Amino acid sequence: MYRYKTKRPFHFRLIMKIKLRYLVPSLLVLSSGSFAASHAVEARGDAMGGTGVVSANYLTAPFYNPAIVAIYRRNDDAGMILPSIGFTYDDPDDIAGTLDDIGGLIDRLSGGDASVAPELQNHLDDLQGTEINANIGGAVAFGIPNKYMSMNLFGKTYAEVYAAPAIETSGATVLQNAQRSTVDIVTVAVTEVGLSLAKYQTFMGQHVSFGISPKLQYINTYVYEASLENYDITDADKNGKGDTAINLDFGALWFYGPLRIGFAATNLISKDIQTARVASNIAGKSDLQYAYKLGPQYTVGVGVIGDYLSVSADLDLNEEEHYTGFDDNTQMLRIGGEIDLRQMKLRAGYKKNLAYSDSENTFTAGAGVAILGLEVDVAGSYTNSNAMGAYINFLASY
């Protein structure tokens, strides 16, 4: 174990009984990168750009680097996160707004108003090649630091929702194309329960800690096809498929005074997941089925972690794949900092998905308030007016 000398104060079931036009604001994870790779769902780290490989604490360590479970302060006997909640959405082409407009235009054109045909065609063209995604998640943790073997019992759940319009172009009229077009929706929901174990030691005069997190994962996938006319997705959760897996995370940390260098490896046991096969409601259209890859992610971090000021950066060493057929790969660069004023903490950060050269920058900010062993952290992320996120933590320490 390592103690600071200074003192410092879920299987997930998707709520799919909503309409697609409300999907994004209702679910509000990852091409925007907010949950990318780590799926941390933790307001303190998310406020600092999603960093945590060297800047996490013993309570949040299982979500970033299990080695940090062994790094705590003299007055830290136990603590818990109950709970942490976060959501993000990324709708760069305003698909939700376009679908709202299309529904009314189809009704008018079906009723004989031919004047709306050009506008409807323009909207169909706008939907070509677009995607929308939303992510939601939560986490809990109970940490027991000690000099023999520090432990943290944790659980987290997150869902990634992707939707892509499939626009028909071979019809004789605009109305036929619109009526044969669909929005294809695929979701993965992962629930994890695990135990992080970590040990601090000195090796050849160097301060190091190592940690592992064996965990049980319950994975659900859902597939749904919605028409542009009637996109009620009440039955979306019926096309589901579940799977269970055992996985492992690993972490290491070296530090000298405030300088830290860390390494984290998550989901070391790869798993390829096939969704259920769903027959299309459109004659001649192929069945819907997707593949999802849950594979290792390797991240390095470096930072200066002080009593009053912390600055750190994390970099994913490999590009992580998710669903086949979607532009959802991630390889994140994260930078963040924190000013600690004891009862008040101010945080800010930056992140970018390096998997795509045209990905936008995401900026984050947040604050924490700590009183009598209780702490509330809030954070927000902003990429553009159609891609944002929000997070909140409730913590207690004893």
pLDDT tens-digit series, residues 41-95: 799 999 999 999 999 999 999 999 999 999 988 777 889 998 999 999 888 888 8
Token representation of residue 271: 């798993």
Mean pLDDT for 124-140 is 90
Q: What one-character DSSP code corresponds to residue 101?
A: H
The more confidently predicted of residues 353 and 235 is 353
pLDDT band of 236, cuts 50, 70, 90 = low
Amino acid 44: pLDDT: 95
The more confidently predicted of residues 179 and 331 is 331
Token representation of residue 228: 């542009």
Round to the nearest angstrom and report the end-to-end CA distance of the chain.
17
Cα separation, 100 vs 21, in Å, equals 7
Contacts of 265 (CB under 8 A, 6+ apart): 249, 250, 251, 296, 297, 298, 299
The more confidently predicted of residues 358 and 348 is 348
Amino acid 282: pLDDT: 83
Of 372, 373, 349, 345, the C-alpha closest to 362 is 349
Q: Which CATH architecture has domain 2-397?
A: Beta Barrel (2.40)
Cα separation, 285 vs 179, in Å, equals 13
pLDDT digit string (tens) for 117-131? Answer: 999 999 999 998 888
For the cut 80, the answer to whether the pLDDT of residue 318 exceeds it is yes
3-state secondary structure of 116: helix
pTM: 0.84
Contacts of 169 (CB under 8 A, 6+ apart): 177
Amino acid 98: pLDDT: 86
| Domain layout of the chain by residue ranges | 2-397
DSSP string computed for 233-298: -TTGGGSEEEEEEEEEEEEEEEEETTEEEEEEEE--S-EEEEPPPB--SSTTPPPB--EEEE--EE
Q: Which helix (H) or strand (E) holds 65?
A: none
For the cut 80, the answer to whether the pLDDT of residue 238 exceeds it is no
Q: Are 14 and 138 in contact (CB under 8 A)?
A: no
pLDDT band of 232, cuts 50, 70, 90 = low
pLDDT band of 203, cuts 50, 70, 90 = confident
Amino acid 56: pLDDT: 96
pLDDT band of 40, cuts 50, 70, 90 = low
Q: Are 316 and 331 in contact (CB under 8 A)?
A: yes
% of residues, the chain, pLDDT over 90: 54
- Whether the CA torsion 370, 373, 374, 376 is positive or negative: it is positive
